[in-house]
Chain A
Amino acid sequence: MSEHIVSPKIYLAIFTTLMAGTGMTVWAAFQNFGKFNIVIALAIATIKATLVVLYFMHARYSPKRTQLVIVCSVFWLAIMLSLTLADYNTRRHEGRLASATTCYRA
Chain B
Amino acid sequence: MSTPPTPVRELPHKHYLNATYGAGLRSWLLTTDHKRIALLYLASVTVFFFIGGVLATMIRIHLLTPGGALVTPETYNKLFTMHGVAMIFFFLIPSIPAVFGNFLIPLMIGAKDLAFPKINLLSWYIYVIGGCFVLYSFGTGGLDTGWTFYTPLSSVYSNSAVTPAVLGIFINGFSSILTGLNFIVTIHTMRAPGMTWFRLPLFVWAHYATSLVMILGTPVVAITLLLAGLERMFHLGFFNPALGGDPILFQHLFWFYSHPAVYIMILPAMGVISEIIPTFARKPIFGYAFIAGSSIAIAVIGFLVWAHHMFVTGESTYAALTFSFLSYLVAIPSAVKVFNWTSTLYKGSISWDPPMIYALGFIGLFVIGGLTGLFLACLGLDIHIHDTYFVVAHFHYIMVGGAVMGYVGGLHFWWPKITGRLYPRALSRFAAVVLFIGFNLTFFPQFILGYLGMPRRYHTYPPEFQVLNVLSTAGASILALGYLLPMSYLTWSMRYGRVAGQNPWPATGLEWKTDSPPLTENFEVTPVVTWEPYDFKNRPDLGLATGTPLPAPALGDD
Contacts and interface: CB of A to CB of B under 8 A. Distances in A.
A15 to B, nearest CB: 27
Interface string B304-343: 1011001000111111001100000000000000000000
B319 A79 contact: no
A73 B216 CA distance: 7
Nearest to A94: B314
B91 interface: no
A79 B304 contact: yes
Given A83-B307, A87-B319, A92 B314 contact: yes
B256 interface: yes
B316 A84 contact: no
B304 A83 contact: yes
Most buried by B among A73, A79, A87, A88: A87
Interface residues of A, number: 13
Contacts of A80: 220, 253, 256
B318 A86 contact: yes
Nearest to B310: A87
Interface string A63-91: 00000000001001001100110111111
Contact of A86 (B248, B310, B316): B316
A11 to B, nearest CB: 27
B303 A87 contact: no
A33 to B, nearest CB: 19
Contact of A84 (B252, B303, B314, B318): B252
Contacts of B253: 80, 84
B263 to A, nearest CB: 15
B216 A76 contact: yes
A76 B314 contact: no
A87 B320 CA distance: 8
Nearest to A76: B216
B316 A87 contact: yes
A88 B303 CA distance: 18
B303 A76 contact: yes
B315 A87 contact: yes
B253 to A, nearest CB: 8
Contact of B319 (A73, A76, A83): A83
B319 A90 contact: yes
Contacts of B310: 87
Contacts of A83: 304, 306-307, 319, 322-323
A92 B314 CA distance: 8
B246 to A, nearest CB: 9
Nearest to A90: B316
B316 A91 contact: yes
Interface string A46-66: 000000000000000000000
Nearest to B322: A86
Contacts of A87: 248, 252, 307, 310, 315-316, 319
Contacts of B303: 76, 79
A85 B339 CA distance: 37
A99 to B, nearest CB: 15
A86 B216 contact: no
A84 B252 CA distance: 7
A89 B248 CA distance: 13
Most buried by A among B252, B253, B304: B252
A92 B307 contact: no
A79 B299 CA distance: 14
A96 B304 CA distance: 29
Contacts of A92: 314, 316
Contacts of A86: 316, 318-319, 322
Most buried by A among B303, B310, B314, B319: B319
Interface string B234-272: 000000000000001100110010000000000000000
A89 B318 CA distance: 10
A79 B252 CA distance: 12
B237 to A, nearest CB: 15
A86 B316 CA distance: 8
A86 B310 CA distance: 14
Contacts of B307: 83, 87
A41 to B, nearest CB: 16
Nearest to A87: B319
Nearest to A65: B188
B360 to A, nearest CB: 36
A80 B303 CA distance: 9
13 contacts: A73-B216, A79-B304, A80-B220, A83-B319, A83-B323, A84-B252, A86-B319, A86-B322, A87-B252, A87-B310, A91-B314, A91-B315, A92-B316
Given A83-B323, A86-B319, A91-B316, 20 more contacts: A80-B220, A80-B256, A83-B307, A83-B322, A84-B249, A84-B253, A86-B316, A86-B318, A87-B248, A87-B307, A87-B310, A87-B319, A89-B316, A90-B316, A90-B318, A91-B314, A91-B315, A91-B319, A92-B314, A92-B316
Interface of A: 73, 76, 79-80, 83-84, 86-92
Please give me the 7 A-B residue pairs with the lowest Cβ-Cβ distance, nearest first. A91-B316, A90-B316, A87-B319, A84-B252, A90-B318, A76-B216, A87-B316
